[in-house]
Structure 1
Amino acid sequence: MVADNGFEQGGGRVVQVTIPAEVAFDLDKFQAVQKDILGRLGCRGCCSGWDIRYELQRRFLVNDKLEIREPG
């Protein structure tokens, strides 16, 4: 099915990648991660055919004292 924006919906070629902000906002680190992921998908030089969705890591842990911390 094609959405109004011209992109096909559904399919099994979606890859979700969760990264911390320190990687997302550092071009060298981001490109290193991207290169590694593209290599795992079959070609380190392109992402043709893959819908790679990057999201910022937003995870919080709360203990029984209601103290909140971020893992990692």
Structure 2
Amino acid sequence: MASDSGFEQGGGRVVQVTIPAEVAFDLERFQSVQKEILGRLGCRGCCSGWDIRYELQRRFLVNEKLEIREPG
């Protein structure tokens, strides 16, 4: 059953967050994101009961010649 926050309640409370490397490796920016995520989960100062998994965003672009490149 989903709570008011839109996340599943119960035993498997897993949250996946995809962030760009520029944010992941900048402590101030990462903490800002973390604070906002925690607020949406119900408490800005605690992640108790949540399994928050951060994933680095990776993008690949493929053109008509099947050449692969990473933007940015």
Count of paired positions:
62
Distance 2:33 2:47 in 1: 13
Structure 2, unaligned stretches of length 5 or more?
1-10
Deviates more, 1:56-65 or 1:25-34: 56-65
TM-score (norm 1): 0.75
Structure 1, unaligned stretches of length 5 or more?
1-10
RMSD after superposition: 1.6
Distance 2:71 2:43 in 1: 31
- Map Cα deviations across residues 11-64 of structure 1 (whole Å, 9 max, x no partner): 330000011100000000000000000000000011000000001111212121
TM-score (norm 2): 0.75
> Secondary structure at 1:54's aligned position in 2?
strand
**What is the percent sequence identity of the aligned residues?**
92
